[in-house]
Structure 1
Amino acid sequence: MCIWWILAEPGLVIQFKVDSLNIEGHSPCHFDRLDLHEEEGNGFNTHQLARWCGNVAPPTVNTNTSRLKVSFVSDASVGGRGFIARYWMIAPSDKSCAWDEFLCDGGRCLFASFNCNNFYDCLDGSDEVNCAQYHDCGGVLTASEGSLATPKHPEQYPHRQTCVWHISVTRGQVVQLMFHNFSLESAGDCQYDFVEVHDQASSSPSTLMGRYCGDSLPPILISPQHEMFVIFVSDEGESDEGFFATYQAVNKSQVACGPHEFSCINGQCEAMQWVCDGWNDCLDGSDEMNCTNITHLPYETACEKIEVEMCQGLGYNETSFPNIWLEIPDQRSAISTLKGYKLLTGLVCYENLRVLTCSIFVPKCTWDGGVLPPCQSLCLSTEKQCQHSLESLGIMWPFNCNLFPDSDDPIECVGPI
């Protein structure tokens, strides 16, 4: 255990910057750790500013007082190279961040990647102000025709984006979607950057019309009903020019399928290879009518039993992976991400926090293999109950409640307990 006290002259504050970090563990740093506490007056009143471990140097820290306590603790196993840090004594008006960081909350520094990422990481919300030019994407489209595109198109789209468009036209019409430009990071199973198109306002596998990436234009897509759901996801890796697409509402009678497509009775178009394959690809089942010598495949749900200890006993016992919201591939990865949750069990609001966290990280699986997000009301009530308790632990509220459905219908989302 090593402790340093950095004491500035009264009226000054301290700027602290870690240049390199190599300390055992991952957040919440159960083993080795580097802690920062700012102290007031005689040092009896302290406030934790940060706790770090791992291999990524954290952003700059600006204190609000003239006293900073720096503590390094290591246990009896697994060592690392440790850390190197610098400090400056500055006037409060001179608080700043490194060139690749974002300044908010009157002196708090965040990595630039947290700026305009659809989450309020700053308490004052300044990291999500004036972001239209970076990630203005998604929304509800109700006009009879319109367009949608990736952020900054035709320039390279930003990393860590999730854009959702809900297209809804007049009942009795269908949506015809056509991509004009298309260039996303390529992968065999489109696991990195991708566009998904669903034939309903849902992201469940049963509504999926197609997932696309690479440089090939997707086919013209026609919804069987008056709604369509388009999801764009980009990860932290490569970026490309993205896509530009247009849609229009057409009458079912006007829908003409391509020469290599099957026309369902309801006007839906499906590839000929899906005809008489044992699955009802047309919603009306017409692709499986008048078929002979077909052995229908048994239905297999994509749901799996919940193995994450934190998320057991919540009123649902099955989930579905991979988690496309957070790019978590399987339950083992979810367990690793949530392994420090026991530190939060003492909070008065823990039960609601547990429901909210699990419905995001280990979501409820529906009968058709889809998943339910948390309701906005669950997120807002939990934020109200937990925000101050989490801040006392040095944890900022991590969720943007506006991203969740404004509904309390248990068919659409998971509500408060």
Structure 2
Amino acid sequence: CGGLMKSPNGTFKSPGHPRNYDNNLDCVWTITVDPGERVFLSFFNFHLEVANDCKYDNVKVVNDSQGDSVVELGTWCGTNIPALFTSTNNTISVLFHSDRSDVFPGFLAKWSIENCGGLITTGQSGTIKSPGYPDNYATNLDCVWVINLHPRQRVHLSFVNFVLEDDSDCDYDNLKVQDGDGRGDSAVDLGTWCGSDAPPPLKSTNSTLTITFHSDYSEVFAGFFATWFTER
């Protein structure tokens, strides 16, 4: 229950997830990456006991600062998925508490270093690329980019270069694009791609697109380079 994680990316979850967690838990996960890097943290499948002030079961995220001081980024419960976080330094911690009564399925969370995924909330255009591009990406990556802009804007996404491991079902290395926030149940899958057949130009129906890139433990390739822009 909890632990110290030092890898550049990974996942952690409440004990038992997707089954219900136990009562009377106090778990602390601390993610520390190399100095100079920052941590991108996102939550999925979030379901805790609900309370107006989250005094029963809750998740708290803190940004570890220099020395002994910490900055609390928020406390969550119920089914409201926590915000997307980017740490201000190389360490961030997640604290999970459950009380003596009701239990629920809990949560799944993913983290990566900042150049493997990120939250994009400003700008009219930009680029997204696999880590290391145009050199080969690494194994065992799970990167999530969320483009979340002004509510009246729509996001256009186009892939300039695209080379991943090929597989008929895209089970090994793959890229998935979702219309909406892919952390919740409301996002619509626009497709999953692998090999050298690049996704077609894509457009969101609202202000948010989610791009998820996964690589497995074996073969690696040059990856992808994509551009995005917005329109009203």
TM-score relative to the length of structure 1: 0.30
Q: Percent identity?
A: 31
1:153 equivalenced with 2:133 (yes/no): yes
CA distance in 1, matches of 2:181, 2:156: 15
Partner of 1:214: 195
- Check 1:217–1:128 CA distance in 2 against 1; reply closer, same or farther (3 A cut): same
1:248 equivalenced with 2:229 (yes/no): yes
What's the offset of the Cα at 1:175? 0.6
8 Å CA contact 1:138–1:163 kept in 2: the answer is yes
1:116 equivalenced with 2:8 (yes/no): yes
What's the offset of the Cα at 1:125? 5.8
What's the offset of the Cα at 1:196? 0.5
8 Å CA contact 2:142–2:213 kept in 1: the answer is yes
CA distance in 2, matches of 1:239, 1:205: 32
Which of 88, 100, 118 is residue 139 of structure 1 equivalent to? 118
CA distance in 2, matches of 1:220, 1:139: 21
Q: Secondary structure at the match of 1:171?
A: coil
- Check 1:202–1:126 CA distance in 2 against 1; reply closer, same or farther (3 A cut): closer
Partner of 1:78: none
Deviations along 1:358-407, whole A, 9 cap, x unmatched?
xxxxxxxxxxxxxxxxxxxxxxxxxxxxxxxxxxxxxxxxxxxxxxxxxx
CA distance in 1, matches of 2:37, 2:216: 18
Q: Secondary structure at the match of 1:235?
A: coil
8 Å CA contact 2:180–2:186 kept in 1: the answer is no
CA distance in 2, matches of 1:231, 1:246: 15
Partner of 1:179: 159
Deviations along 1:164-223, whole A, 9 cap, x unmatched?
111122222211000111111111111111111000102559610010110122100011
Partner of 1:237: 218
8 Å CA contact 1:179–1:220 kept in 2: the answer is yes
1:225 equivalenced with 2:206 (yes/no): yes
**Larger Rg belongs to:** 1
8 Å CA contact 1:116–1:131 kept in 2: the answer is no
Greater fraction helix: 1
8 Å CA contact 1:169–1:227 kept in 2: the answer is yes
What are structure 1's unaligned runs of at least 5 residues?
Answer: 1-104, 252-417
Runs of 4 or more consecutive aligned structure 1 residues displaced over 6 Å after TM superposition: none
Partner of 1:163: 143
8 Å CA contact 1:119–1:128 kept in 2: the answer is no
Letter in 2 for 1:175: V
What are structure 2's unaligned runs of at least 5 residues?
Answer: 13-28, 39-111
What's the offset of the Cα at 1:130? 4.6
CA distance in 2, matches of 1:167, 1:156: 24
Partner of 2:182: 202
**Count, aligned residues:** 137
Letter in 2 for 1:141: I
- Check 1:161–1:129 CA distance in 2 against 1; reply closer, same or farther (3 A cut): farther
Letter in 2 for 1:116: P
8 Å CA contact 1:174–1:227 kept in 2: the answer is yes
CA distance in 1, matches of 2:208, 2:33: 33
CA distance in 1, matches of 2:228, 2:136: 22
Deviations along 1:129-160, whole A, 9 cap, x unmatched?
4557x952211112221111111111111111
Q: Secondary structure at the match of 2:198?
A: coil
